[in-house]
Every structure is written in structure tokens, then in C-alpha cells.
Structure 1
Amino acid sequence: MNDYNDINKIIEDYPFDEDNPFLAEAPSEEKIYTREDFVNDEDE
């Protein structure tokens, strides 16, 4: 049951914009991967 509590803690720690949750900033230390990143890696 600890997994459920860990998930809740992660959600609490994540930046959240109540007005528009989908535009909330991701933590700056994490890289956000886009489809282009994976396509470029395959080409090299």
C-alpha cells in the first residue's frame, strides 16, 4: 500500500496551476522529451 502514498506525495510535490493544470511548469532539473528528440537519436 506504500506505492499509493508515494504517488500522492509525488503529485503534491509537482508544480500545479489550479487555473490551468496542463500548463504547469515541469521541474527544471528534468528534461522533457519530445518526439523529435527520439527521432534525432535514431538518425545519428
Structure 2
Amino acid sequence: MPTLFRFLFFCAVIVGSVYGVMVALVTFVEPTEREVTIRIPSERVNPQP
């Protein structure tokens, strides 16, 4: 049983670390907004029969 507890503790530490990194990213990283323009060829919008 001690190896099972050690494994579960190791998994909990990894999950906690990932959760902490996600919280830090949400808290400290601010996304920048910018205008996006995508050109679509007219052949794709109005296909000729």
C-alpha cells in the first residue's frame, strides 16, 4: 500500500502544479486585441456552376 499512496501523492502534486500554472496564467497574462482581416477569393464565395 505505501507505493499506492506515494503514486497518488505524486499525481496530486502534478495536478496541483498544473492547476497553479493555469491560475497564474489567468491572473498575470492579459490578451491583446487586434483587428484581423482574412481575404477570401471570390471563386470560393460565389462558385460558378
Which TM-score bucket, shorter chain as reference?
0.3 to 0.5
TM-score (ref. length: structure 2): 0.30
> Which gives a bigger RCO, structure 1 or 2 (Cα 8 Å, sep 6+)?
1
Higher helix share: 2
